[in-house]
């Protein structure tokens, strides 16, 4: 089981040089076409699902449920990025848009499946390739959840943790809320008393909402955007806040969401409307996930390296599957710079992680 690094690099180059921003479904589909051709060569059965997701099945059938592998073909990078960030190797790093997040993860799965040489695990392997992870997975979420219900374990090939190369055994839940304050406009000089300031209520709410954070429990709340008012000499009739919520547990996510929805204005003439909610539930490191992680640690040790496990703040499609089926995340390619100009994969570390994934697919 020796990953063919030059072939992996060539495969990665082919995927990276097809730019695939989430906003261009045709471009994302071109990446999927390349992956689909490879999946068929490996003996996979390809099936398009509504909304642009593709499903590849390897030896799926019979009594046992398959292992589910989650991949996404979209990136955060707009067309033209390759002009400034071409695919290139520098030392033991491979740079380019979407290398680390997560086209190298896709290549790793294909090479791991290839290394099994048709000896599929009991129940087989089902791979989902989705088009919209970077924009919240709205179209693919139902397929992801349905596939998780029919699977016995889920592997997500998002990259491991930067620097430590640790696997991801939990992720915070992610929520976003919009608060709009509707006050009463009035002339600041002539009739200040007739106005009800939306900005005053919004300002109060900023502090109230941020006080809901419980960093000791992993709950953070940030008002990231604020807008309001129409002119300096008008008591403002409207103001809006946009809030980012991260929570490690379902209970904490619900506590904050309920408190935000229950906000009451100090001035009863101001009305508050709340939109949004928890987009991705918390991925809590349950016993099933920890058991998968234990297997991964044992396998890595047998292969001659150590692999850690961390709970991280960012979300992935693993947040949707973890409440349903034991999920292990971060099984993609080591590197750094997701969504940043220095995005890269670490060539010295990548083969080890592909060997780990191969063994997990073959043995779990």
Footprint of Zn ion on this chain (CB under 5 A)? 101-102, 158
For Zn ion, give the closer residue by CB, 96 or 123: 96
- Find out whether 20 and 74 touch, Cβ atoms under 8 Å: yes
- Find out whether 345 and 91 touch, Cβ atoms under 8 Å: no
Could you give the CA distance from residue 58 to residue 142 in angstroms, rounded to a whole number?
21
For Zn ion, give the closer residue by CB, 158 or 352: 158
For Zn ion, give the closer residue by CB, 23 or 297: 23
Could you give the CA distance from residue 63 to residue 40 in angstroms, rounded to a whole number?
23
- Least Cβ distance, residue 171 to Zn ion (angstroms): 12
CA distances from 64 to 67, 125, 234 (A): 10, 11, 67
Give the sheet arrangement for strand 327-328, strand by strand. Answer: 45-48, 54-58, 125-130, 67-72, 153-156, 327-328
- Least Cβ distance, residue 203 to Zn ion (angstroms): 36
- Least Cβ distance, residue 274 to Zn ion (angstroms): 29
- Least Cβ distance, residue 69 to Zn ion (angstroms): 14
- Least Cβ distance, residue 37 to Zn ion (angstroms): 22
- Least Cβ distance, residue 288 to Zn ion (angstroms): 22
Q: How many residues in the chain? A: 364
Q: How many CB atoms lie under 10 A from the CB of residue 298? A: 13
CA nearest 51: which of 79, 19, 73, 80? Answer: 73
Could you give the CA distance from residue 79 to residue 94 in angstroms, rounded to a whole number?
20
Measured in Å, how far apart are the chain's first and last C-alpha atoms?
17
For Zn ion, give the closer residue by CB, 101 or 201: 101
For Zn ion, give the closer residue by CB, 156 or 260: 156
For Zn ion, give the closer residue by CB, 171 or 246: 171
For Zn ion, give the closer residue by CB, 99 or 358: 99
- Least Cβ distance, residue 76 to Zn ion (angstroms): 9
Name residue, tokens 């992956």: 35
Measured over the CA atoms of residue 77, residue 83, residue 85 and residue 91, the dihedral's sign is positive
Locate 15 and state its tokens: 């995927």
CA nearest 167: which of 287, 270, 292, 278? Answer: 292
For Zn ion, give the closer residue by CB, 157 or 270: 157
The values of phi and psi at residue 29, to 5°, are -65, -30
Reported as type and span, the H/E element at residue 88 is strand 88-90
The values of phi and psi at residue 57, to 5°, are -120, 130
- Least Cβ distance, residue 101 to Zn ion (angstroms): 4
- Least Cβ distance, residue 230 to Zn ion (angstroms): 40
Vertex 230: Cα angle to 225 and 233 (nearest 5): 125
For Zn ion, give the closer residue by CB, 96 or 124: 96
């Amino acid at each position: 089981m020796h990953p063919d690094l030059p072939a992996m690099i060539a495969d990665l180059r082919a995927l990276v040089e097809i730019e695939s921003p989430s906003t261009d479904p045709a471009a994302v589909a071109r990446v999927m076409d390349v992956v689909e051709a490879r999946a068929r060569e490996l003996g996979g059965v390809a099936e398009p699902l509504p909304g642009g997701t593709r499903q590849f099945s390897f030896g799926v059938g019979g009594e046992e449920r398959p292992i589910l592998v989650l991949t996404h073909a979209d990136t955060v990078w707009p067309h033209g990025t390759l002009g400034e960030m071409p695919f290139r190797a520098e030392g033991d790093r491979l740079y380019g848009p979407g290398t680390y997040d997560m086209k190298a993860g896709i290549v790793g799965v294909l090479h791991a499946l290839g290394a099994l040489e048709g000896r599929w695990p009991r129940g087989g392997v089902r791979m989902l390739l989705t088009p919209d992870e970077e924009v919240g997975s709205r179209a693919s979420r139902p397929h992801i959840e349905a596939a998780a219900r029919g699977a016995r374990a889920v592997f997500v090939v998002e990259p491991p943790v930067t620097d430590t190369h640790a696997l991801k055994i939990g992720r915070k839940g992610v929520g976003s809320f919009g608060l709009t304050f509707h006050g009463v406009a009035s002339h600041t000089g002539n009739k200040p008393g007739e106005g009800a300031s939306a900005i005053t209520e919004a300002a109060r709410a900023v502090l109230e909402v941020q006080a809901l954070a419980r960093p000791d429990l992993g709950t953070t709340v940030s008002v990231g955007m604020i807008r309001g008012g129409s002119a300096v000499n008008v008591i403002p009739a409207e103001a809006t806040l946009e809030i980012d919520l991260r929570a490690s547990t379902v209970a904490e996510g619900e506590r904050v969401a309920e408190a935000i929805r229950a906000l009451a204005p100090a001035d009863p003439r101001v009305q508050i409307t709340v939109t949004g909610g928890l987009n991705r539930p918390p991925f809590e490191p349950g016993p099933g996930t920890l058991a998968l992680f234990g297997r991964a640690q044992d396998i890595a040790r047998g292969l001659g390296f150590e692999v850690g496990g961390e709970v991280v703040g960012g979300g992935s499609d693993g947040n949707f599957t973890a409440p349903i089926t034991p999920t292990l995340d971060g099984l993609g390619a080591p590197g750094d710079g997701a969504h940043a100009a220095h995005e890269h994969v670490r060539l010295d570390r990548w083969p080890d992680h592909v060997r780990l994934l191969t063994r997990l697919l073959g043995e779990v």
